Amino acid sequence: MGGGFESALSAHVMIAEKSALMGLPEVLFNLFPGMGAFSFLSRKIGMQAADTMVRSGKVYTATELYGMGVVDVLAEDGQGEKALYDWIRKNHRSLNSFQAIQRAKQRVNPLTVEELYEITEIWVDAALRLSERDLKIMERLVRAQNRKVTEPAIAEQAIA
């Protein structure tokens, strides 16, 4: 959630399993995703859709994101790695055109390092203005997320 999704947005092709959950929860604690999400999303799905998505704080399934044009390849659950290799096998002969298209997209709608730095500076300024209440909400969200990760692991250890 959050940072992992934001990082995945930087890829030229996003492959996800149907029930994978992704979102940008930063607005829930009065911030915004400042490490590239808005830049990548606005180029991929348009400014209006990116704005709506970033402001919502909603958690989406990969199926929903596929319908929005964020996810490029939708895999059955448990088949993500297979989908990746299938995509490579299907597209390896057209690597030259794939790379040329990516360069053309960058030329038409450039994403510069300066843009990313400037947005990060906006994020830092916003982060420095967070209130105690915002920080407490952030802490609660982190604890809830950690519980979701650790509880299944503890249950799995108890079974073993």
- CATH architecture for residues 3-129: Alpha-Beta Complex (3.90)
pTM: 0.83
Ordered mean pLDDT values, 10 residues apiece, the chain (160 residues): 84 97 93 94 96 96 98 98 97 95 95 96 95 91 82 65
Q: How far apart are CA 90 and CA 112, in angstroms?
A: 31
